Amino acid sequence: MSFRKIVEHFGFHRTTLSFFHFHHLSRPFTSHSPQPHHQGNQNLDPHSLLKEDPIEICTSLWVKTFSSPPNASFPNLTGFLSNFDLWLLAYQRSCAHATGTFPPRNAVGTPVLHSLLSLRNAVIRNRFEWNNKTNPLLRAPNDAAVTKPLSKRRLQAAIKSDASCFQDRVVQEVLLMILEPVFEPRFSPKSHAFRPGRNAHTVIRTIRSNFAGYLWFLKGDLSEILNHVDPHVVMCSLEKGTRDKKILGLIKSALEGVQMRSLSRKEENVEELMRLKKRRATKKRILKENEPKPDPYWLRTFFSFAPEEAAKVPNYGHCGILSPLLANVCLNELDCWMEKRIVEFFRPSEFDSIWKYSIDDGCHNPAWPEFVPSSGKEKTRKMDYIRYGGHFLIGIRGPREDAVELRKKIVAFCESVFGVRLDNSTLEIEHITRGIRFLDHIICRRVIHPTLRYTGSGGNIVSEKGVGTLLSVTASLQQCIRQFRRLELVKGDKDPEPLPCNPMLYSGQAHTNSQMNKFLETMADWYRYADNRKKVVGFCAYVVRSSLAKLYAARYRLKSRAKVYGIASRNLSRPLRESSNNSAPEYSDLLRMGLVDAIEGVQFSHMSLIPSCDYTPFPRNWTPDHERLLHEYIKLENPKFFCELLRSVKQKGLNLPQDEISQMIWNYKTRGVCYFRSNEDNKLKSDFKEITE
C-alpha cells in the first residue's frame, strides 16, 4: 500500500497533511527525534483546562486517604497526575523556590501554560526524560531564550553540571502533592523527620514524656540508607501504597537515571574546578533581576549548628524533593517492625509503680512528667522507640542482655530488607548514667532525694535514700563550642576565646546587630526544651557579643573590647563613630530624619533576659493539628457518627440542643398567650365595673 492510499484510508485532508509536513520541517533540529502530537492537543487552549481550585483537589485527596483504612492501596492516581490545575500549582511552587516570589495564577503567561501543558502530556504519554538539559520542554522563569547555538564548551558544562532542571522540579512537586497524602496515613507515629507537623522539637518532647524509667538505650545510625538505597527496595515499598504504573515508572526511571561518578572522572575535573574557583574569587558575581538573594548570615550560621541527625537529607538520583518521602517510605518498614517488637517485649508487673497492666498506663504528674519511682520488688519489662531521619533511639527497661538480643534482630532485619549490613559502631548500647547524645541534647538521669537527715553536731548526712529518678534532657555545651570553633568565632576547647566576626566586617552596626539578634532568637528557640537553656543561650550570647565587640574595635579603631563597651554599652546599642567631629549631626537627629537605621541592642546581655526551659507536658498520644482536624472533619461527614450520637443521647436520657430550643420557644408562645388573655380579662372586668357604677 502506497503512502497516498494510507493517507486516504485514515481520512487525512490535504490541508492537514501539508500543515503536518510544514510543521515538522520548520522545527529546529534537536538531539531527540520529535514525536508526533495529536491534532486535538495542538489547538487546545490551556486556559480551558483550569477549572478547579488545586487546594481543594489536594484537600479532597487528603480526606480520601485518611478516611480509608491505614493499609489501603490506591491503584489509580493517573487522574490526579493529569489534572492541569495541580501542574500549575506545582509550577508556582517551583517558581517560588527559584526566584523567591510566588507568582499569582493570573500572572502566568499563555506561552508558559502551553509549555507546561506539553510537559504534562509528555509525562502522561511516557515520553518524559529526567535531566534533559539539551531539549527542555519548560524553562525556568529566570532563563532567557537561547537564540544562538551554544558552544561546545558551554554545552558540555551545562550537561555535566549538578544543577537539576527546572522542569524536573515541577514534576517532583506534582508527584509530592499526590504521594504525600497517600503514604502519610501509613506512616508510624514513631517517625518524626521529613513529615508535616513533626520536627526535632516533637522528638525532644516525646523523649521527655515517654522515655523515663529506661536504663539501657540503643542508638542506631541508618545514614547509609539515606546516602544510597537499592531502587528495588524503594519500588517494593511504594507498591504497597499505590499500583499506578505511570507514577511507579516515573520514580523508577528517576532512581535509575543517575549513576555514581567514578573516581577517574572526579580526578579529570579537579583542574577545571580549581580554575572555576579562581575565577569566582577574582570576579564579583552580580545577581540577576529576578534571582533570589542568598540566605542571610544569621541563617547560614544557624544551619551550621544543625545536629548530625538533622543535617543529613537524602537525595536519590533525580527524585530531588521527593527523596525524603521515599526514605520515609522505606524506613517505615523498620518502624512497623519495631512497633510489633514493642508489643511482644512488654511484660507488666503489679509491683511496678507505673505500667502495671498495659503499655499506656503511665500517667505522670504534669509538673514532673519524667518522674519515675524506683521502689518496688519487680520492674515492668518495657521498650520504646523513636526515629528521626536515619537515626533512631530505643529505650529498654530490663537487663542489658535484652538490648544485645534486640540489636541482633535489628541487624538481621536490615540486612534482609534493606540489604545493609550494620555493625556495633552504628548500633551502640549505652547506659543512662553515661548520657546519650541525640539531636545535640544529652539524655541523662538524676536521682531524687526528698529527705536528707543530719546529725545534731557535725551536720553530716546520716542516711540518703533516693525514691525516684528524673529524666534530664540538657543541651550539649561541648557540641555548641565545636560548632562555634568550626565557624571561626571561638578558639580553644576548655576556655574558648571569642574571635572577631569577620564575615560582617563591611556591614553597618545596625545591620550587624539585627543579624546576630535573629541568630540568638533562633538559638533560644532551638534549645527551648533543654534543662540548661539559660546556660547554653547565655554562652552563645557571650560569644556573639564578644565577637561583635572585637569586630567593632577593629572597625572603629578602639583597640579593645572595654572601650567598645564603654561607648556602645553592654548590649552594643549605642552608635559607634570613627571620628568625633563636632560639626557632624548627632545620631538622634539622623535617626529622626531617617538617614540612619535604629540600632538594636544585642539580646540576652543578662541571664535574667533569657527565657527558662519550657516544661509544658506533652500528651502521650499526640497527633499534629492537621491530622486531628482531618479526623474530626471525616467524623463530621460520616452520617453514622450522628446516628450513634443520637442513640447514645437517648440511652442516657439527655436532651438535644434542638429539643431544648424548641421547648423554650413553645413555652414562650403558650405562656405569653395565656398572660395576654388574663390581662385582657382583667381590663374588661374593671371597665364593666366602672360602667355599672
Please state the φ and ψ torsions of residue 161, each to the nearest 5 degrees.
-70, 150
DSSP letter at 329? H
Separation of alpha carbons 211 and 438, rounded Å: 13
Residue holding cell 491530622? 627
Please state the φ and ψ torsions of residue 597, each to the nearest 5 degrees.
-90, 150
Between 455 and 568, residue with greater pLDDT:
568
Picking from 39, 40, 2, the residue whose alpha carbon sits closest to that of residue 20 is 39
Cβ density class 649-672: b for 16+ within 10 Å, e for less: eeeeeeeeeeeeeeeeeeeeeeee
DSSP letter at 502? G
Separation of alpha carbons 276 and 271, rounded Å: 9
Range from 43-47, 78-82, 371-375, 395-399 carrying the lowest mean pLDDT: 371-375
Neighbours of 458 (CB within 10 A): 8
Q: What is the DSSP string of 35-88?
A: PPPPHHHHS--GGGG--S-HHHHHHHHHHHHHHS-TT--B---HHHHT-HHHHH
By three-state DSSP, how is residue 217 classified?
strand
pLDDT band with cut points at 50, 70 and 90 for residue 143: confident
Between 145 and 207, residue with greater pLDDT:
207
Q: Which of 141-145, 147-151, 335-339 has the highest mean pLDDT?
A: 335-339
Q: What is the pLDDT of residue 587?
A: 61
> For residues 95 and 101, is the Cβ–Cβ distance under 8 A?
yes
DSSP letter at 654? P
Q: What is the pLDDT of residue 25?
A: 32
Q: What is the pLDDT of residue 5?
A: 42
* Degrees, nearest 5: CA angle 602-606-611: 90
Separation of alpha carbons 590 and 613, rounded Å: 41
Q: What is the pLDDT of residue 691?
A: 61
Residue 333 CA, chain-centre distance (Å), reads 21
Q: Residues 249-276: what's their mean pLDDT?
A: 59
* Element containing residue 386 per DSSP (H, E): strand 382-388
Mean pLDDT of the chain: 80
Which long-range contacts link 43-47 to residues 24+ away (Cβ below 8 Å)? 44/117, 46/84, 46/110, 46/113, 46/114, 46/116, 46/117, 47/110, 47/113
Between 294 and 688, residue with greater pLDDT:
294
Neighbours of 366 (CB within 10 A): 9
pTM of the model: 0.81
DSSP letter at 209? H
| pLDDT at position 94 over 70 | yes
Q: Which of 33-47, 272-286, 301-315, 668-682 has the highest mean pLDDT?
A: 301-315
Q: What is the pLDDT of residue 10?
A: 35
Separation of alpha carbons 202 and 200, rounded Å: 5
Q: Residues 480-497: what's their mean pLDDT?
A: 90
Separation of alpha carbons 507 and 512, rounded Å: 6
Picking from 46, 185, 47, 214, the residue whose alpha carbon sits closest to that of residue 119 is 46
Residues above pLDDT 70, as percent of the chain: 72
Residue 489: all three cell numbers together:
568565632
Q: What is the pLDDT of residue 663?
A: 77
> For residues 519 and 545, is the Cβ–Cβ distance under 8 A?
no
Please state the φ and ψ torsions of residue 220, each to the nearest 5 degrees.
-115, 150
DSSP letter at 242? B
Alpha helix positions (H), 288-346: 297-303, 308-311, 323-345
Size of the chain, expressed as the number of residues it contains: 693
By three-state DSSP, how is residue 612 classified?
coil
Range from 239-253, 394-408, 454-468, 610-624 carrying the lowest mean pLDDT: 454-468
Q: What is the pLDDT of residue 11?
A: 42
pLDDT band with cut points at 50, 70 and 90 for residue 333: very high
DSSP letter at 296? P
Q: Residues 289-299: what's their mean pLDDT?
A: 78
What's the N-to-C CA distance of the chain in angstroms? 125
Range from 31-35, 439-443, 494-498, 578-582 carrying the lowest mean pLDDT: 31-35
Give pLDDT tens digits for 369-415: 445 554 445 678 889 999 999 999 999 988 899 999 999 999 999 99
Range from 57-71, 117-131, 413-427, 659-673 carrying the lowest mean pLDDT: 659-673
Picking from 387, 429, 435, 381, the residue whose alpha carbon sits closest to that of residue 406 is 429
Rg (C-alpha) for the chain, rounded Å, is 34
